[in-house]
């Protein structure tokens, strides 16, 4: 698991340059399967068994986004979810984008691994694993 998942997204107030080059490459190494697009945003496609499982994931990502104050673009299709993240305030990437990506990965793993067949909240599992994260 990435150390990024233990951090909390920090709201961007603007006035800072987006990350570029080696800084992005270093963060990308910490989030498996996320692609950097034109040094502007990161994206990843998640595969699920069916629509219900994909929708469950989307809802949990939405809850996580609200808690972190950082909101990705989400595309839902049957058995597939595309997540795109960037910091709108600076129209580019910050560390918080990769923090959110790492947390989204944790949610996907919880759902895909079927640890939550009884519909426990995967988000709660993330909180229990890292009690220092979440809303303040």
The residues spanned by each domain of the chain are 18-120
| pTM score, whole prediction | 0.81
Phi, psi of 18 (to 5 degrees): -65, 155
CA dist 86 to 47, 72, 77, 122, Å? 21, 7, 21, 23
Which band of pLDDT confidence, cut at 50, 70 and 90, is reported for residue 116?
Answer: low
Which band of pLDDT confidence, cut at 50, 70 and 90, is reported for residue 112?
Answer: confident
pLDDT in tens, 21-67: 999 999 999 999 999 999 999 999 999 999 999 999 999 999 999 99
pLDDT in tens, 67-102: 999 999 999 999 999 999 999 989 999 999 999 999
Which DSSP state fits 114? T
3-state secondary structure of 36: strand
**pLDDT for 119 beyond 50:** no
Strand order in the sheet with 73-77: 35-37, 41-47, 80-85, 73-77
User: CA-to-CA distance for 30 and 32, rounded, in angstroms?
Assistant: 6
Q: What is the mean pLDDT of residues 1-6?
A: 75
**pLDDT for 133 beyond 60:** no
Choose the weakest-confidence range: 75-79, 105-109, 120-124. Answer: 120-124
Pick among 3.30.1360.20, 3.40.50.11890, 3.40.50.720, 3.10.20.30: CATH of 18-120: 3.30.1360.20
pLDDT of residue 124: 65
User: CA-to-CA distance for 107 and 109, rounded, in angstroms?
Assistant: 5
């Amino acid at each position: 698991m990435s150390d990024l998942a233990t951090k909390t997204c920090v709201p961007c107030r603007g006035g800072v340059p987006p990350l570029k080059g080696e800084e992005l490459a270093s963060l990308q190494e910490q989030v498996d399967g996320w692609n950097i697009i034109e040094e502007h945003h990161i994206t990843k496609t998640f595969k699920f068994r069916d629509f219900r499982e994909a929708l469950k994931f989307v809802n949990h990502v939405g809850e996580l986004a609200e808690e972190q104050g950082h909101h990705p673009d989400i595309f839902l299709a049957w058995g597939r979810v595309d997540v795109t993240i960037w910091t709108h305030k600076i129209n580019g990437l910050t560390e918080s984008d990769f923090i959110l990506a790492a947390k989204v990965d944790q949610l996907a793993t919880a759902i895909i691994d079927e640890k939550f067949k009884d519909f426990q909240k995967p988000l709660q599992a993330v909180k229990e694993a890292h009690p220092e994260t979440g809303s303040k």
